[in-house]
Amino acid sequence: MFSSSALAPSTSERSSGAAGPAGGGKAHVLQPYLDCIRHSLNASLCLQNFASQIVERHNKPEIEARGSPELLLNPLIICRSEDEKCMIETSVNSVRVSIRIKQADSTEEILAQKFARFLMQRADNFVVLRRKPMDGYDISFLITNFHLEQMHKHKLIDFIVQFVEEINKEISEMKLNVNTRARLVGQEFLREFVF
């Protein structure tokens, strides 16, 4: 049996105000969404080597080839809102993770498209990043059994979760920078008309 003191935070933890891994603020609000993605990916990434049932000596990601419907599981969609969601599609030897980035206005839409395009042009450097996202999503990752043989499963999950967490911060910072720059340009332009 556990004592109540073992489960409760110590007085030093309470007084220091340690916020845990979330860190507080916006990350604290995002944490249940990130936890759900983390646990779903952990369950989905149980992949094994599986040769094609149609073509001999071929081993293609079944989630991309879609040659045998019995090898595909139902897709799992995790929604934080209509504009921010994650779809996890699982098969016997591959998982495809598609992410829709929150875009509140036209500025964020343009920034998200440019940022996603910038990343997808450098997909070779990310190994698991797809060059073209799924329809309705901004960025997609493809993880195969070969990736899991070369990399640690928990680090791949951490990478995707951290990517989801950081991309919103990046786009918010870029939007602030664009607005600040536009304000300064407007002020300089209007100074020409002052007598």
Tokens 């036209």 correspond to 106
72 DSSP 8-state letter: B
Q: What is the length of the chain?
A: 195
Measured CA to CA, the distance from residue 103 to residue 137 in angstroms comes to: 12
- Residue 66 pLDDT level (bands cut at 50, 70, 90): confident
Q: Is 105 helix (H, G, I), strand (E, B) or coil?
A: coil
Three-state secondary structure call for residue 67: coil
Total-model pTM: 0.78
Q: What is the pLDDT of residues 36-61, one digit of tens each?
A: 999 999 999 999 988 877 877 788 89
For 103-135, the pLDDT digits (tens) are: 888 999 999 999 999 999 999 898 999 999 999
User: CB of 116 within 8 A of CB of 133?
Assistant: yes
Tens digits of residue pLDDT in 147-174: 999 999 999 999 999 999 999 889 989 9
